[in-house]
Homo-oligomer: A and B are copies of this chain.
Amino acid sequence: MNEIRVFAPATVANVGSGFDVLGFALSDIGDMITVRKTDDLGLHIKNIEGADNLPLDCKKNVSTVAAQALLDSYNNTLDYGFEFELVKKVSAGSGMGSSASSSAAAVMAVNELLGRPYSKTELVVFAMQGESLASGTPHADNVAPSLLGGFTLIQSYDPLRIIPLHYPKDLVATVVHPHIEVKTSDSKRILRQHIPLKTAITQWANLGGLIAGLAQENYELIGHSLKDVVAEPTRSMLIPLYEQVKEMAHKNGALGCNISGSGPSMFMLSQSLDTAHKLADELRVMYSNEQLDCDVYVSKINPDGAILL
């Protein structure tokens, strides 16, 4: 095999009370990477479609940095190199795991071309190096669901422990990406580094309820438990129409609504596609009324994660 094409989905991290530990994968929306073996040794980016300002320099692009981490670990001398073509559908800075999609797709593709020396779970640690380049921290809460699909809990980093969670198959996400820029670094800066013990207890009681709700397929419990008392109160201030969107979501049957990643995207969970589409329609109207551009996605939870095309 000399050429391979991989799709890796966009993801929602910081899922409400699962701040910094919980993520899930979306369907259809994501990045595609074609990787082919070349006579030139090393890594080369031939083309990037769908994004203007991403570097072609392999040391500065998350996909090749992630791929290089894999090759460094693989540590076999190769008599060929790899050429990358990226088709990006997830906007950088959207809060939908743009860098994670590219990193996940890249390591999955190179792994296949090498004859699959690593499992998907083992690939997470390489994709994390792409995240490290993108945000300064090798976090896994987007790359894990992008590779593995479903809902994943990152329990710890040392050692890296990824817990795939059970969830109801009918769950649907509506995600809106208002076209404004929120820098992850800004979004991090406005979080307090110490929190009241009481607040922390509320958060973990809610996360406990969320994971129990997913496991028990109890939609009321899922919705109630999304409540985030740590990041949302401050981060939501950076997102236009945040409170109005939450109110609309509540009125229109969403189980819950929260920030996707560190924003500005927001996600809503619903029990049916009908509700999810209704929310999407309302979102388009709301942002359009404010002359704000946005992208809106309706997506079942993606059970597969990154796949070969």
Contact = CB atoms under 8 A, between A and B. Distances in A.
A102 to B, nearest CB: 26
B206 A155 contact: yes
Contacts of A202: 156
A209 B163 contact: yes
A224 B156 CA distance: 11
A20 B216 CA distance: 22
A200 B230 contact: yes
Interface in A189-235: 191-198, 200-209, 211-212, 215-216, 221, 224-225, 230
A197 B230 contact: yes
Given A153-B205, A194-B194, A200-B204, 8 more contacts: A155-B208, A155-B209, A165-B212, A166-B215, A194-B196, A194-B197, A195-B197, A215-B216
Interface of A: 17-22, 153-156, 161, 163, 165-166, 191-198, 200-209, 211-212, 215-216, 221, 224-225, 230
28 contacts: A17-B204, A18-B204, A19-B201, A20-B201, A20-B205, A21-B204, A153-B212, A154-B205, A155-B205, A156-B202, A161-B224, A163-B209, A163-B212, A163-B221, A166-B212, A166-B215, A166-B216, A191-B197, A192-B197, A193-B198, A194-B195, A195-B195, A195-B197, A197-B230, A200-B200, A208-B208, A211-B212, A215-B215
